Amino acid sequence: MLSYSWILLIIFSTPVMSAGKIKTIYQWSWVDYLWESNEQKIQAIQSGDYNYTKPVILDVDVWKDQKIFVTVIRSKGVPASLTIISNEIGNGGPLLKPYPNWSWAEKNNCLAITSVWRVAIDECDRLWVLDTGRVDGKRICPAQLLVFNLNNDRLIERIIIDDHISVNEFTGLGFLVTPIVTTSGNQCQETRVYIADVDGHALIVYDGSSMWRLDSTVFLPQQKYTNITVADQTFYLNDGILGMAVSPIIKNYRYLVFRPLASRDMFYTEINSLDKSYNDHPVGYSVVTNILPSQAAAMAFSKDGTLFFGLTKEIAIACWNIKMPLKRKNIVILDQDEYAYQFASGVKIIPERITGRKEELWIATNRYQKIATNTQNFNEINFRILRAQVDDLIVNTNCNA
Output the 3-class SS for the chain.
CCCCCCCCCCCCCCCECCCCCCEEEEEECCCCECCCCHHHHHHHHHHCCCCCCCCCEEEEEEECCCEEEEEECCCCCCCCCEEEEEEEECCCCEEEEECCCHHHHCCCCCCCCCCEEEEEECCCCEEEEEECCEECCEECCCCEEEEEECCCCEEEEEEECCHHHHCCCCCCCCCEEEEEEEEECCCCCEEEEEEEECCCCEEEEECCCCEEEEECHHHCCCHHHCEEEECCEEEECCCCEEEEEECCCECCECEEEEEECCCCCEEEEEHHHHHHHHHCCCCCCEEECCCCCCCCCCEEECCCCEEEEEECCCCEEEEEECCCCCCHHHCEEEEECCCCCCCEEEEEEECHHHHCCCCEEEEEECCHHHHHCCCCCCCCCCEEEEEEEHHHHHCCCCCCC
Pairing, β 82-89 against β 94-98: antiparallel
Q: Which residues sit opposite 120 in a β-bridge?
A: 128
pLDDT mean over 5-20: 39
Distance CA 143, CA 318 (A): 32
pLDDT mean over 278-296: 94
Residue 320: the pLDDT is 98
Residue 173: the pLDDT is 97
| pLDDT of 20 strictly over 80 | no
Residue 349: the pLDDT is 98
pLDDT mean over 376-390: 98
Q: Which residues sit opposite 235 in a β-bridge?
A: 228
Confidence of residue 325 (pLDDT cuts 50, 70, 90): very high
pLDDT mean over 331-336: 96
Residue 21: the pLDDT is 86
Confidence of residue 9 (pLDDT cuts 50, 70, 90): very low
| Angle made by CA atoms 243, 387, 126, in degrees to the nearest 5 | 60
Handedness of CA 196, 99, 103, 41 (dihedral sign): positive
Residue 73: the pLDDT is 98
**Hey, where are the domains in the chain?**
23-394
Residue 2: the pLDDT is 44
Contact between 301 and 316 under an 8 Å Cβ cutoff? The reply is no
| Angle made by CA atoms 367, 226, 342, in degrees to the nearest 5 | 15
| pLDDT of 292 strictly over 90 | yes
Contact between 344 and 317 under an 8 Å Cβ cutoff? The reply is yes
- Domain 23-394, second-level architecture: 6 Propeller (2.120)
Out of 187-191, 255-259, 370-374, least confident range: 187-191
pLDDT in tens, 188-240: 999 999 999 999 999 999 999 999 999 999 999 999 999 999 999 999 999 99
pLDDT mean over 44-65: 97
| pLDDT of 8 strictly over 80 | no
Cis check for the bond before 100: say yes or no (omega within 30 of 0): yes
Residue 250: what are its φ and ψ, rounded to 5°? -125, 110
Out of 168-172, 199-203, 280-284, 392-396, least confident range: 280-284
The mean predicted confidence, pLDDT, of the chain is 94
Residue 23: the pLDDT is 96
Contact between 319 and 338 under an 8 Å Cβ cutoff? The reply is no
- Cβ-proximal residues to 207 (8 Å cutoff; 6+ apart), any chain: 190, 191, 192, 275, 278
| pLDDT of 86 strictly over 90 | yes
| pLDDT of 300 strictly over 70 | yes
| pLDDT of 285 strictly over 80 | yes
Instruction: Go through the chain and tell me how many residues it has.
Output: 401
Confidence of residue 260 (pLDDT cuts 50, 70, 90): very high
- CA-to-CA separations, 322 to 1, 59, 123, 257, 401, in angstroms, rounded: 5, 24, 22, 10, 8
Residue 256: the pLDDT is 98
Residue 281: the pLDDT is 86
Confidence of residue 169 (pLDDT cuts 50, 70, 90): very high
